[in-house]
Amino acid sequence: MPSSTASITPGLPSFLRTLKTSPVESSIEQFISLLKRRQIRNSRPCALATTQLLLRVVADFKGRDVAKLMARIRHVGQRLTAAQPREMAVGNIVRRVLGLVREVVEDDNEGDTPAMSEAGQSPPSNDVHQRPGLTSSISTFSPLKHGATQPTSPGEHHAQSLGESTFTHDDSSVHRPPLIGSHTSYAQPNAPIVTSLFGLFSHPSAPSPTSTPTGHSSPSMKPLTHTNLAMSELTLNDKAGTKDIKADVIEGIREILDELDQCTEQIAGYALEHIHADEIVLVHGSSTTVQKFLLTAARKRKFTVVHVESYPNDHLDTYSTVMNGRKKPGTSSGSAIDDEEESVDDMRFKPLTSAGISVILIPDAAVFAIMSRVNKVILATHTVLANGGLIASVGARNIAQAARAHQTPVVVLSGVYKLSPLYPFDTEELVEYGDSSRVLPYEDGKGVDGMEVVNPINDYVEAGLVDLYITNLGGHAPSYLYRIVADHYHVEDVNL
């Protein structure tokens, strides 16, 4: 197999290489076409490419008009998500960068023009220097609202979040962060978090919140028209003053890059908390995150891994993972969860067998048969949705359900960047279908003509089947994901 075909095949490495030199607009176009042709696929490469691209977009942005900067980011984001709505990591990153801009602006406002902040805000809680040094949580934003997508007019929220009303915010400043996990300690108390309950009483100064229909937010939606956004961004702009915020934003984006970079390691860092000696762990398909996690545990403990081969889309990657510890570079066989990046460097990945872990490879059909002896199921994921459900490669649903039937805990490993604020109204929409010839080769098979051969690539696994999520921030119950979503995305940005 060609080992470093990266320079030849268009993909993430080639994109990142040219990104530095080519004009922004052509980079955007390039990324869009790579997304459309699935030459960049899977959450991690998509997140990485999006972050790098946005870094360029921000750096390239001329002028100091924050509203225009946000509009620019949003516009790019719309094009990207439209190109490949199912790669939700793209949208996630765009939303986080948008949130980053908001955050920087708010910080600046407080720093520069304290008069702008309204009476109710309590200065200490808005301390810019509170920004924690941890890259993993640096880009967490003020929790806005719970729940997922909510189509209220952004304008309304905006006005509130910038502290134009008094009473609501008064209350929120006593809101106690300890409720939230430590990683969210950065949560800004002036957020209109309480408006969901006290909203009824808030001052009428908010722009008319009357039902601006804001389209639905299932991931395959088309971008909406955003006339109403203009208002909020104008407001933003007023506040932002003229200070150049670009440097701060760029710094923030770099922190997101760091987070992406360290995510797998950080998740693996929790491995020993979850895998005990002599355990039988079942994994599925091929995932760098899971592999790393198991390898980390293997350093200290002996256990057995049952590896489901994930036929017909990912079995080659599975074989490669079993034999070499990593996916074969260049094979883009299926929906494997997270591709490697450009570097073919690593000795970081070695097969589990060489670490003394016994690995049992089983076909997908044997999942139920073996589940009665499995202690723990560890799944990788493509996307985690706000309700705690997840999209993973096909077969994950069988495994999760079989685990439930045997009372076997299911642990899902996912970087926070895979956590999407979208709510799965229609899980069918999220499922991608692959080449049916993988299921039934065309060459042989007389009946192929009359048969509808179906090859879904993803499964939707509902939240109820998952016992624990492990992200780079730690372990969470599925019921707590709403909070992590709220910590990472501004509600105004949910609908791009």
Partner 1 sequence: MSTESANSVPNGTPNTAAEPNQTNGTAQPPEKKLTGAELKKQKQAEKQARRAQAKESPGAQASQKPPSTPSKPQQSSSKSPKSQQGKNAPEKQQQQQSPKAQQQGAKVRRSSETAMAPKPALVKRVGLFGHLYGQPRRHNTVNAGKDIHPAVLALGLQMSSYEICGSNARCVAMLLAFKSVIHSYTTPPGTSLARHLTSHHLSPQIDYLKSCRPISISMGNAIRWLKDLIIKIDPDVPESEAKQSLIAAIDSFIRERITAADTLISQTASSKIRDGDVILTFAKSSIVLQTLLEAHANGTKFRVIVVDSKPLFEGRKLAEELVEHGLDVQYNLISAAAHAVKEASKVFVGAHAMMGNGRLYSRVGTAIIAMLAHDRDIPVIVCCESVKFTERVALDSIVGNEVAPAEELLARGEEGEGQIKRWQETPNLQLLNVMYDVTPAEYIKMVVTEYGSLPPSSVPAVLRNLGTI
Partner 2 sequence: MAPSATTEGPPSTTNGSSDFNVVSTYKSLLASDPELTMPVAAIEALVETLAHSHATTISETLALLTTATNALKSAISNPISLSAGTDLFTRYLVSSLRNTGGSDTDFQAVRTHLLSNGRLFVQRAKESREKIASFGRHFVRDGCTVLTNGGSRVVGALLRSAADASPSGNARFRVVYVVHAPSSPGANEGMETVRALREKGVAVATVSEAAVGYSMGMVDMVIVGAEGVVENGGIISRLGTYQMGMLAKSMGRPFYVVAESHKFVRMYPLGQYDLGIEQKVVDFKTSEDDVAEPKGEKLEESATAVDFTPPNLISGIITESGVLTPSAVSEELIKIWF
Cis before 312 (ω within 30) = yes
Residue 468 interface partner, choices partner 2, partner 1, none, CB cut-off 5-8 Å depending on type: none
* Residues 185-204 interacting with partner 2 (rule: CB under 8 A): 193-201, 203-204
DSSP letter, residue 434: -
For the chain, the C-alpha Rg in angstroms (whole number) is: 23
Residue 319 interface partner, choices partner 1, partner 2, none, CB cut-off 5-8 Å depending on type: partner 1
* Residues 476-495 interacting with partner 2 (rule: CB under 8 A): 477, 479-480, 482-483, 491
Q: Is the separation of the CB atoms in 342 and 287 below 8 Å?
A: no
Residue 447 interface partner, choices partner 2, partner 1, none, CB cut-off 5-8 Å depending on type: partner 1
In angstroms, the CA 434 to CA 455 distance is 5
Interface residue with partner 1 among 319, 349, 425, 480 (CB under 8 A) is 319
Shortest CB 379 distance to partner 2, Å: 20
Select 200 or 347, whichever has its Cβ closest to partner 2: 200
Place of tokens 């003053």: 241
CB-based contacts of 36, cutoff 8 Å, min separation 6: 83, 84
Stretch that binds partner 1, among 53-61, 79-87, 363-371, 377-385 (CB under 8 A): 363-371
DSSP letter, residue 443: S
Interface residue with partner 1 among 331, 409, 468, 474 (CB under 8 A) is 331
Stretch that binds partner 1, among 132-140, 165-173, 261-269, 358-366 (CB under 8 A): 358-366
Place of tokens 């430590």: 182
Q: Is 344 in the site for partner 1 (CB under 8 A)?
A: no
Structure-block tokens of residue 27: 């980079």
Residue 211 interface partner, choices partner 2, partner 1, none, CB cut-off 5-8 Å depending on type: partner 2
Containing 440, the helix (H) or strand (E) segment is none
Residue 146 interface partner, choices partner 1, partner 2, none, CB cut-off 5-8 Å depending on type: partner 2
Neighbours of 341 (CB within 10 A): 18
The closest alpha carbon to 419, from 351, 357, 481, belongs to 481
DSSP letter, residue 205: T
Q: Is the separation of the CB atoms in 284 and 399 below 8 Å?
A: yes
For residue 198, the SS3 value is: helix
CB-based contacts of 235, cutoff 8 Å, min separation 6: 155, 158, 159, 162
Residue 265 interface partner, choices partner 1, partner 2, none, CB cut-off 5-8 Å depending on type: none
The closest alpha carbon to 80, from 64, 96, 94, belongs to 94
Interface residue with partner 1 among 71, 257, 431, 468 (CB under 8 A) is 431
**Chain residues in the site for partner 2 (CB under 8 A):** 120, 145-152, 166-167, 170-171, 173-176, 179, 193-201, 203-204, 209-211, 213-214, 216-218, 386-388, 423, 425-426, 463, 477, 479-480, 482-483, 491
**Chain residues in the site for partner 1 (CB under 8 A):** 1, 304, 309-313, 316, 319-320, 322-324, 328, 331, 333, 351-354, 356-370, 372-373, 394-395, 397-398, 401-402, 405, 431, 439-440, 445-447, 449-456, 459
